[in-house]
Structures are given as C-alpha cells and as structure tokens.
Structure 1
C-alpha cells in the first residue's frame, strides 16, 4: 500500500489490485498510474480546487471509474456514478458510504482491501474570523460540524484525510483535533492547505501527544513512504 499526496486535498492510494484517487485537479505523473489496474476517481464536490474535468481524459488502459458527488452535473462517460450524502454502494471490491459536508458535496468512507479510509472533502469546522467573514455564525459552524461527525459514530477509522486550512487563522486545527478525540484514527493526514506545508508541523504541535500518527510531507506528488506506513 502506498499513499501519494498530489496537491491540496488530492491523494492517490495504491493497492496491489486497484488505485483510489481523491479530489484530483492537477496532472497525475505517469509513473503513478498502472496499466491493467482499475483506477477509481472519487470527487467530493465540484469546487475547482477539488475537481477538474481533465480526469475524464484518463486512457482506457487504466480502467477509470468515477464516483462523483451529486452536486456535479451528470457526465457522459462510461462507468461513472453519482452519490448524494448518506448513500451506500458496493463497487469493484469497495464498500462505499457517503456522509455530508459543511460546505458542498459529500465526504467518503470506504472499506478497501481490509482498510478503512475517510476523505472529508470540505467537511470542516469552518471557524472563520468574523471580521473577515461577517456572514459566518461560529456557533452554528461548530454545531454543524459536530452533528455531521455524530452520524459516523462507531465507525472504525484507520486513515483519515482531514482539512487543516491555514486561512482559518488560530482555528485551523480544530477539525483535526476534534476528529482525533472522537475517532482515534490510526493515521490522520492533513489536507486542504495548498502549498503551505508548514501548517502540518503547526498542527502536530497543537494535537500531540496522541496515539494517532500524523505524517509530515513537504511537496506535491510525494509518496508517503515513511516508517509509520510500513506497519499497514
């Protein structure tokens, strides 16, 4: 198993028999794609920093299948599926459940190859500075985020991809910290920070000590091949 950070909230997970790709809106290096292996593209919502129509141009030899949030218009391409929040689907050895978002679209909970993977999309505790976003109700944002996570109570969490967004200022860590407290995932992978990789170390200083492993990575198209992943 390999986990590759593409960019922002984009990740690629390689198993021996399949590849899962989440929220890709940048070009995937050719060496990350494997001929004759099915590639499953998951898109949590239609924002331009999570979705590009370029993924529809993947060559047939990579056996692409697309699982879109239903906020994205129907695509006229083979093997594509649309899912609303709180739906369930079995597909190609994957068990896929959707949950909601505190912005747009869905979040994905996937059982694959004896692993449990959660990709939050834009499900985040959007605790904006109200001097910058006077339209935001911080109390309601907290309530909405925690209510959505309550819907997932009891689900085993192994790999969780959670927004750690530096635009939130001093509140950037709240979603990740709360997620760790509620679910104790084995691994929490920060995302949704563009190229501000320094936010990962800042996040770790906020939430550690914790039994949850938090990888540190410093670039786009990086394979997370550190000792913490070897045990999985």
Structure 2
C-alpha cells in the first residue's frame, strides 16, 4: 500500500482498489494535497474522526460525486448534504464498501478507527491519545491514562500493517506515552506519528525508542511512502 502524509493528522492510504483518506486537514490551503481525478477507478472514502476543525476540513464534502464518507456521530452536516455517509458511534463494527470498520471511543472527541481492507489492517487514532499534561491534576491525568489504556486494550494482541498515532510535543516529556503503550499491547509494521503541529523532529525522537525501526520518518507535507 501507499501512504501519503498530508498535514497534522491527515493521511491517505491507497490500496489496490481503495483510497482511504483520514482526517483531511489543509490548514486553509487550496486542495493541492489531493485530487480525486488521480484515482479514477478506485473507491474513495473519507474518514472523519470528530468535529474539530483540525481533523475535519468541510471542503471534502465537495467531492460527493467521487467519494463516500465515514463520519463520527458528533459531526453534524447540513441537511442539504446529499453524499453517501455512514455515521459511526464508538464501540461498534460496520461493513461499508467492502471495509470492516471498528470504532473506539476517543478520550477527547469522536472516535478512533480500526479498518480492515482486503486483509490489510489500518489504525487511525483520531484524538484518542494519552493526554498527560504536566500542569494538570493527578486525578485528571489518571483518568486520561485509564481511558486510553481501556480503549487500546480492546484491540490488544492485534497486528496492524499501518498505525497512525498522536505524538504531540505539547505534552513535553510524555509525548510518546501513547505510542509506547500501543506498541506494547498491540503492534504495527509501520507507525506514522501525527498531530505534531509541524514539529517533524518528533519522528526522529520516536526512532530512538525500542520500536524505532517501525517509526516512519516524515519530513514534509504531501510526502508519500510505500509500505
């Protein structure tokens, strides 16, 4: 499969028959990251993990003729929208366009996705993260830890070909905790850091971890990797 990093938590996964676009975010730029006409003959599906503007660029809704949509239940679309939409809730499993889509409950907003497509397993965490803030109370951080661990344990023991996991340097020395726990309890052949707000150095930092050989070194926007 081919994986393209667009921006922030936005990725495209291209398989033999499908183009899966997760949490597209263009930071107000024109659609220079993605052109549906480049994927004629393939099934294009957009995934939206929640309603935050850095995960849901409403301009994706302009492509109803070329694409369909898997959208978290907390996102409200205009009643006039006529595209094909599957609304998803946490802790459910759906069949859609030949995909098996399992959802986890985000400890921020919306859902995380575990997607199976033609034998290929893909994880996109959305804003499900180990949000340990050094300035927060111990009670808050304990609740966050439990909520993250509980969700990841729902997919314990699985192997994903590709996983997209938040690695936010605003969490200071705790930025890698989510990836650590995921790799301890789950596993992935290729791990793409995300939600790092343009701080590409986080990829290099994660490559120094014991699972560093599985971390993909992203260096720029609109960069494509073959997995």
1:58 Cα deviation after fit: 1.6
Q: Which runs of 5+ in 1 are unaligned?
A: none
The match for 1:89 among 83, 90, 94 is 94
Instruction: Please list every run of at least 4 consecutive aligned residues from structure 1 whose deviation after the TM superposition is greater than 6 angstroms.
Output: none
TM-score in terms of structure 2 length: 0.90
1:215 Cα deviation after fit: 1.0
1:36 Cα deviation after fit: 3.0
1:211 Cα deviation after fit: 7.7
Inter-partner Cα distance in structure 1 for 2:82 and 2:187? 39
Inter-partner Cα distance in structure 1 for 2:186 and 2:61? 34
Q: 1:128 to 1:114 in 2, by over 3 A?
A: same
More strand by share: 2
Q: In the alignment, which residue of structure 1 is the partner of 2:173?
A: 170
For the 8 Å contact 1:188–1:212, the answer to whether it is kept is no
Q: CA RMSD in A?
A: 1.9
Q: Which runs of 5+ in 2 are unaligned?
A: none
Q: 1:128-153, CA deviations, whole angstroms, 9 ceiling, x for partnerless residues?
A: 121xx469721221111111112222
Inter-partner Cα distance in structure 1 for 2:9 and 2:49? 10
Q: 1:100 to 1:59 in 2, by over 3 A?
A: closer
Count residues in correspondence: 220
TM-score in terms of structure 1 length: 0.88
For the 8 Å contact 1:56–1:77, the answer to whether it is kept is no
Of the structure 1 ranges 135-144 and 93-102, higher mean CA displacement relative to structure 2 is found in 135-144
Inter-partner Cα distance in structure 1 for 2:125 and 2:91? 14
1:160 Cα deviation after fit: 1.0
